[in-house]
Amino acid sequence: MTVQAFRPASSIAVCGAGMAGLALATLLARRGYRPVVFEARNEEACRTEGAFVTLAPNGLSALRALGADRRTVNAGLATRAVELCNHHGRNLGLVDWTGDGSDGIADSVTIGRGTLIGILIDAARLAGVELHYDTRLTAVSESEANVTLSFEGSAPLTFDMVAAADGLGSAVRAAVFPDLPTPRYTGLVGTGGVGFVPDVPSTGGVMRMTFGRRAYFGYQKEGNGPVYWFNSYPLAERDLAPVADPVVYMAFLRSLHESDPDPIPCILAAVPAMERYYPINDLPPLATWHTRRVVLLGDAAHAVAPHAGQGASMALEDAVVLAACLDDATKPVAAFKRFEFLRKARTRTVMEVARRSGARKLANGPVSIFLRDLLLPFVLPLGARQARRIAAFRVDQAPLALPA
Ligand SMILES: Cc1cc2nc3c(=O)[nH]c(=O)nc-3n(C[C@H](O)[C@H](O)[C@H](O)COP(=O)(O)OP(=O)(O)OC[C@H]3O[C@@H](n4cnc5c(N)ncnc54)[C@H](O)[C@@H]3O)c2cc1C
């Protein structure tokens, strides 16, 4: 029996209108809550910032719980596999994590991050979610009875509970759990973009990734559509700084890949400037994700480095599971406890996968590159099996099941 004793009277604040926050607020609004979302950026920035994300079949299943899967598939690129190559362009193996299509989900989808955020904003508005942009949370104070949130430039507000979906650098996490570990820089930064480069041949549904001589590069193109590309390269922490000149920085990116196989130089030649790069961080496992009235989800709870292609999917799965837990509990804390139990092992597995694959990108020097090229074809089938297992979970069908 579903008991919703606390639901009608409860007020919920969702901090952060990224993937986790928008998805959670939409699902809660459809269940009769009246969630209020606070987002630090303006709406236009949210709809345009970032390059692209890949949603594995499990992430699409989470979007299906929101009714947003079809729009996402139509706006993105079907990605059926990842091919890995070395700096000579030699194939090292293929990771295929596709579903069998029996449940209507066959491939992964690569989609502009802003496009997906736009789809989620539309779904939230349709569900009646109250969205406040340009509203940066600065402090959190929790009492026995409620939680008070403070904001930059506006008056404090009090809620019965708070869902912190404010990403890797979560202000809520820092305020509520000052003793928990903070994100650490992995030693890699990433850039990327989406643009038309007519001379580049189609990759036939495959994201082609290359361990280049000095940097890692991935791209996909279908038909006459745009090229989706990204790269990552090692950068010492002391050298992390905002891009001073986007044209000069782009010339540097081109130089990183100048002796890599075609069409990598050709893709980069078509990009005139790059405004910024993203340091790649991860978050050590957190001992706890919740208090009595505050719960962390998405990157705020378990930032997954992008190397596993699962960060967005994990955030969306979290939202579906947390909404179901809240629906099925008599007290917020019981829902939060169950949510943490259901999500912790799975997100740790994915974080480990991401860490292992990030470490391969840091290989430099002839010996480690030789060993990587030698061993990868043997290790890859195991990695592919694990990726398929992770992608096989269908959270829309069984949100309260413990995933494998
Ligand atoms: C601008 C941006 C660009 C990104 N680009 C890429 C990309 O190109 N490729 C990729 O794979 N991943 C990218 N990511 C990361 C990826 O989207 C997330 O890892 C993943 O989707 C997890 O989602 P999330 O909802 O947990 O966190 P996020 O998507 O990080 O969302 C967190 C949200 O909280 C907001 N926020 C943060 N602090 C506060 C505060 N104090 N008050 C109110 N709101 C706050 C942020 O502005 C953001 O909208 C990007 C993230 C961001 C924020």
Instruction: Please indicate whether residue 40, judged by its CB atom, sits closer than 6 Å to ligand 1.
Output: yes
Instruction: Please indicate whether residue 315, judged by its CB atom, sits closer than 6 Å to ligand 1.
Output: yes
Q: Which of 66, 135, 140, 166 to mutate to test the pocket of ligand 1 (most atoms within 8 A of CB)?
A: 166
CA of 326 to the centre of ligand 1 (A): 23
CATH architecture group of domain 12-76+113-183+283-391: 3-Layer(bba) Sandwich (3.50)
pLDDT of residue 345: 93
Cα 60 from Cα 54, distance rounded (Å): 10
Q: Right CATH number for 186-280 from 3.60.21.10, 3.30.9.30, 3.40.50.300, 3.10.129.10?
A: 3.30.9.30
For 153, the 3-state DSSP assignment is coil
- Per-residue pLDDT of 148-189, as tens digits, reads 999 998 899 999 999 999 999 999 999 999 999 999 998 989
Delimit the domains of the chain by residue range.
Answer: 12-76+113-183+283-391, 186-280
Angle of CA points 333, 178, 38, to nearest 5°: 65
Region label for 309, one of left (φ > 0), alpha (ψ between -120 and 50) or beta (otherwise): left
pTM for the model stands at 0.92
CA of 125 to the centre of ligand 1 (A): 19
pLDDT of residue 29: 94
For 180, the 3-state DSSP assignment is coil
Residue closest via CA to ligand 1's atom 26 equals 298
Tokens of 181: 């570990």
pLDDT of residue 3: 40
CA of 54 to the centre of ligand 1 (A): 14
CA of 311 to the centre of ligand 1 (A): 10
pLDDT of residue 41: 97
Beta strands in 145-183 (DSSP E): 147-151, 154-159, 161-164
pLDDT of residue 1: 38
- Per-residue pLDDT of 342-364, as tens digits, reads 999 999 999 888 777 666 665 56
Instruction: Please indicate whether residue 317, judged by its CB atom, sits closer than 6 Å to ligand 1.
Output: no
> In sequence order, what are the beta bridge partners of 194?
228
Residue closest via CA to ligand 1's atom 29 equals 18
The candidate with the shortest Cα–Cα distance to 121, out of 1, 221, 37, is 37
pLDDT of residue 50: 85
pLDDT of residue 386: 79
Q: Which of 52, 276, 283, 299 to mutate to test the pocket of ligand 1 (most atoms within 8 A of CB)?
A: 299
Can you list the residues of the chain whose pLDDT is less than 50? 1-5, 8
